[in-house]
Amino acid sequence: MEKIMQWQKAYEQNETQKVMRHALYYNPLELCVSVQENCTRNQHHFSVNINTLKAVNQQTSGRCWIFAGCNLLREEIAKRLNLAQFELSENYLAFYDKLEKIHTFCELAIAMKDAKADDRTFVWLVKTGIQDGGQWDMFVNLVEKYGIVPKDVMSETYQSANTATMNLLINTRLRRFAQEVRNLALMKREDEIYALKETLMQELYSLLCTCFGIPPQRFSFAYADRDGDVHHEQETTPLAFYHAHITTNLRDYVSLIHAPTKDKPFHEVFEVKYLAHANGQPVRYLNVPIEELKQAVIAQLKDGKLVWFGSDCNQFNDTKGGFWDDTSFDYNSAFGINFSIDKETALDMRDSAMNHAMVLSGVDLLNDQPLKWKIENSWGVDSGHNGYFTASDSWFQRFVYQAVVHKRYLTTQQLTDLEKQPRLLEPWDPMGTLAK
């Protein structure tokens, strides 16, 4: 109590904190620490700018990685078909993502049936369950296996846009399955496990159909182009539609990451255990210095190609103003506390990690150096600049962890590095965080 009285006396003599206390009584903290003189730095103008379609909205779901991937693909389709607006069905891919994740969980639960209840990997499995989040390689796995469909063919439902309750129910059922598998193993009745799995898969497939709708096996597609002419595509399949309209080989894209931690040397390749769908390609990264990542991204943007990227969107953002900028919020002066933390420490101490995927559609360069970046988000047209955001280069440096670029924009050294044997990361590694 003596210490507390000393602290209180010191606090009451601090006039800055008195003013801040009064301001915070009625106002959000972020507004009280905004740096007014930085407003001009975040203006929404870019020397390299790719015009893209109307922003989309993932609503109350963690499907940003699917939306970001679909935003890339739809531009190629819209250009090919001369469309003013077009959107792919994120719901269609989310349906199969959930089904694949359920299958992956089952296979891992069976493989770990003899693990101790407090085994760290088993605890990670049952605690994580299935979720909405994902990664670039997972997106590619889905579209190459199941194809794509226009949004009109499988539109959003309330449950696809608001997934929390459905996820809770699925995870409860999966955890019961995991325990039932362990019980069968204890009773030496392993031969019954896969029949149990088959029952579960049928149950949860039905649940997904009820919540998301039945995914189409075949469909027809009618559309009006920019000139008002109506076109009809005859009955096709999702895979045939994908191959007919997407000429880009998605396997030629590489995930560059910037993880400046001692356990992840630069120019090494990493994979994360259990992160991908069970039968798909693994999630793979090449770790590079941030300047190399920026150079590849800028080269792709200059070539008129969008960039799927992952960042920590929770840090220093102004949704109303439409920007991310770590220099526009002065928390240090407001509280008299040094809140600074370097990127390596932030990763190692779990203060920051990639948690949101978006699309880079421009960059503002001065003497060929980036000042700020243009972002196509998936939070709807009512956020930011009609759904688009600005990110300062200093924020990019600190909070961007991943960018997906075509191999043609990599250096000779980076292409050589890709041939290295991947190092395996545990599923709870910071770079195993899924974009939501």
Active site residue 106: no
- Angle at 169 (CA atoms; ends 165, 171), nearest 5 degrees: 115
Residue count of the chain: 436
Between strands 48-49 and 219-224, the pairing is unpaired
- Dihedral of alpha carbons 223, 72, 271, 205, sign: negative
From the candidates 42, 44, 57, 64, give the one annotated as an active-site residue: 64
Task: Identify the three-state secondary structure at position 88.
Answer: strand
Contact 218, 236 (CB under 8 A): yes
Q: In 264-315, where do the E strands start and end?
A: 269-272, 284-287, 307-311
Active site residue 64: yes
Q: Is 12 exposed, middle or buried (0-12, 13-18, 19+ CB in 10 A)?
A: exposed
Which amino acid is it at 411? T
Which amino acid is it at 124? W
From the candidates 245, 258, 277, 356, give the one annotated as an active-site residue: 356
Active site residue 22: no
Measured between alpha carbons, how far is residue 48 from residues 239, 289, 358, 384, 418 in Å? 34, 23, 18, 19, 29
Q: Which residues are annotated as catalytic?
A: 64, 356, 377
